[in-house]
Amino acid sequence: MNIQLQPNHASCLPTSFAMCMDIPVHMIFDALNHDGLERVFPIPDISLSCRGFHITEMIYVAHLFGFSVVELPKSLGVSSGDYVHEIPLPYNLIKWLNEGYCVMEVGRHAVAWDPQSQRIYCPSGKITACSIRDVIKKHDNFYFVIGR
């Protein structure tokens, strides 16, 4: 995986996906016909007023480029009526993800995770060593980009 810097403040999600798919982030902008900077909210702070990107757009673009995307929450919730039970992520799924799939983690900020190097690639330019277990402990939502 090669680090890419996000071209604007609203593009950490597409930049992270671009790193996982090994394509320039501008190819994602071209496929979606926008760069996330359209101001859609009446907020003076430009960093909070832009449209940004939705995960559904990333799933669509990944499909266009021949990739699959699987969402996997931190835990698996099952329910019956008013009852909800949280099941921890099964170890065999963690092991599967650790054996060669690029991992996206998405919370308030998106980054890419490379299982081969055990590193998180942040679109701001920072690269940090991190095991999959640490990634799962620290973040909420995960999107796994599965190669062609």
Average pLDDT on 4-21 reads 94
Residue 118 CB: number of other CB atoms within 10 A?
Answer: 15
C-alpha span between 139 and 104 (Å, rounded): 11
Q: Which of 37-41, 89-93, 107-111 has the lowest mean pLDDT?
A: 89-93
Q: Does residue 48 lie in a domain region?
A: yes
Q: Does residue 7 lie in a domain region?
A: no
Angle between the N-to-C axes of helices 12-21 and 25-32, in degrees from 0 to 180, rounded to the nearest 10: 120
Q: Does residue 141 lie in a domain region?
A: yes
Q: Does residue 1 lie in a domain region?
A: no
Q: Does residue 4 lie in a domain region?
A: no
Average pLDDT on 129-146 reads 71
Beta bridge partners of 29: none
Q: Which of 2-11, 19-28, 34-43, 74-83 has the lowest mean pLDDT?
A: 74-83
Amino acid sitting at position 129: A
Indicate the number of domains in the chain: 1
CATH of residue 115's domain is 3.90.70
pLDDT at 14 over 90: yes
Name every residue whose Cβ is closer than 8 Å to that of residue 4 and which is 6 or more positions away in sequence: 15, 18, 19, 24, 25, 123
C-alpha span between 2 and 24 (Å, rounded): 10
Q: Does residue 29 lie in a domain region?
A: yes
Q: Does residue 52 lie in a domain region?
A: yes
Query: For a pLDDT cut of 70, what percent of the chain falls above it?
Result: 76
pLDDT in tens, 32-68: 999 999 999 998 888 788 999 998 999 999 999 998 8
Q: Does residue 54 lie in a domain region?
A: yes
- H, E, C per residue of 87-125: EECCHHHHHHHCCCCEEEEECCCEEEEECCCCEEECCCC
**What's the domain range around 117?**
12-146
CA distances 100 to 2, 81, 116, 125, 132, Å, are: 16, 38, 6, 23, 12
Average pLDDT on 73-96 reads 77
